Structures are given as structure tokens and as C-alpha cells.
């Protein structure tokens, strides 16, 4: 991930896969891994592989659509969280607060 612009599909997809795995664990899975495969110039992943240990909710396939990922994430927020021990989707970060 070093040197990648925050809005590159491989970087956004890595964050989305992690977020999906965390979501699955929070909804009941004991462990989860999400593997994604993309092809150049395609917004949809070619493949989404879920490896779940126990029951957990899977996010819909369109969660991994590149345009949808760009809509959910401000690249400035990603770079703002780097080195802070936080993740850009943490709701308590200043750029994620609704107030």
C-alpha cells in the first residue's frame, strides 16, 4: 500500500475488505477473511470470496463497487488517519462526525 494514492482501487478495496470482515465478526462470525479480485477498467470485482468461521452477515456485492467505495470514503480522511493508529471508518474521528 505504500505510495498508493488513497483513491486507487487496490487500496480502497483493501480497506473495504477489512471493513467487511470486521462487520462479519461483529455480527457473529468467529473469524472472517474477504478476498477480492478486480480487473483494470472495471468497477465491479471479478470475484468476492468470503471465508467465514461461524455465522456472520456478508455485505452485498455492490459494497465492493469502485464507484460506491469512492462515494463512501473521502481520500483526505484516509490520509488524515495514517500514523494515528485509527482507521478512516472509525465514527469518532472528526471527519466522520455528523455534528
Assign 12 a pLDDT band (cuts: 50, 70, 90): confident
**Residue 40 — φ and ψ, nearest 5°?**
-55, 140
| pLDDT confidence of residue 95 | 47
Assign 19 a pLDDT band (cuts: 50, 70, 90): very high
Question: What pTM does this model have?
Answer: 0.72
C-alpha cell at 32: 472472517
Please tell me the distance from the alpha carbon of residue 79 to that of residue 83, in angstroms, as a whole number: 9
Model pLDDT for residues 21-76, shown as the tens digit of each residue: 999 999 999 999 999 999 988 999 999 999 999 999 999 999 999 999 888 876 56
Q: H/E element holding 67?
A: helix 66-72
**Residue 65 — φ and ψ, nearest 5°?**
-65, 135
Please tell me the distance from the alpha carbon of residue 80 to that of residue 67, in angstroms, as a whole number: 21
Sorted by where each begins, the domain ranges of the chain are 9-96
Amino acid at each position: 500500500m505504500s505510495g498508493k494514492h488513497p483513491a486507487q482501487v487496490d487500496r480502497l478495496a483493501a480497506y473495504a475488505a477489512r471493513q467487511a470482515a470486521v462487520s462479519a465478526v461483529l455480527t457473529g462470525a468467529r473469524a472472517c477473511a474477504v478476498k477480492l479480485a478486480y480487473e483494470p477498467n472495471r468497477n465491479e470485482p471479478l470475484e468476492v470470496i468470503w471465508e467465514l468461521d461461524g455465522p456472520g452477515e456478508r455485505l452485498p456485492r455492490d459494497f465492493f463497487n469502485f464507484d460506491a467505495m469512492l462515494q463512501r470514503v473521502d481520500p483526505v480522511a484516509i490520509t488524515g488517519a495514517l500514523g494515528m493508529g485509527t482507521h478512516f471508518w472509525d465514527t469518532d474521528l472528526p471527519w466522520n462526525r455528523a455534528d
